[in-house]
Amino acid sequence: MTGVTLIELLVTLVIVSVGVLGVAGLQATSLQLTRDVNYKLTAVQLANDVFDRVRINRDQTYALAITDVPPAGATNCVSSTCSAAQLATYDLARWACSVRSTNLAGETYAICSSLSVSGALPLGASSIAEVSGAEGTYEVQIRWAIDGVQTLCGAREAGQACQSLTIRTSVQ
């Protein structure tokens, strides 16, 4: 009879261990999904930010390709008076730095340092362009990495371990 009690104890221990591993797996999945949702929310906020900037300065054309780095020659329009064109360049630089402020080597872009802006999305990339044939309509695309591969998402095809958000809106 004493051996039966020991076997029952070992079976109980195995069942409890499997249950604990299951709970740990659920916790890890929950953390990953929470992180992904936070990145998506940040991307939506960044897209809305640049749309608001375009609405304020709608006489200027805003354009930034997905592979572009933040415009280096931007004037800080918070501390100086700027023309409408300078404001557009400042807006693009600030927005691009908000998405990604470092290169692959981890060095912060000089313009991002001078504007005191840090990137919010891992290996992020951003673009904005006016939609052809639809005056006053802009399309924003934001990508960010969901893996540890050190390749900027602007240099990858969407879907290659990169999340992508594309929003199109009229700024009239």
Q: Please tell me the pTM assigned to this model.
A: 0.81
Q: Provide the 8-state DSSP code for 134.
A: S
Q: For 150, list phi and psi in degrees, rounded to 5.
A: -85, 65
What tens digit of pLDDT does each residue of 34-75 get?
888 999 999 999 999 999 999 999 899 999 998 888 998 899
Q: Which two tokens stand for residue 161?
A: 């371990």
Domain that holds residue 157: 2-170
Structural domain total, the chain? 1
Give the amino acid at 43. A
Which of the residues in the chain have pLDDT under 50?
Answer: none
Among residues 110, 116, 104, which one has the least CA distance to residue 148? 104
Q: Give the Cα separation of 96 and 142 in Å (integer).
A: 10
Is residue 170 a contact partner of residue 137, using CB atoms and an 8 Å limit? yes
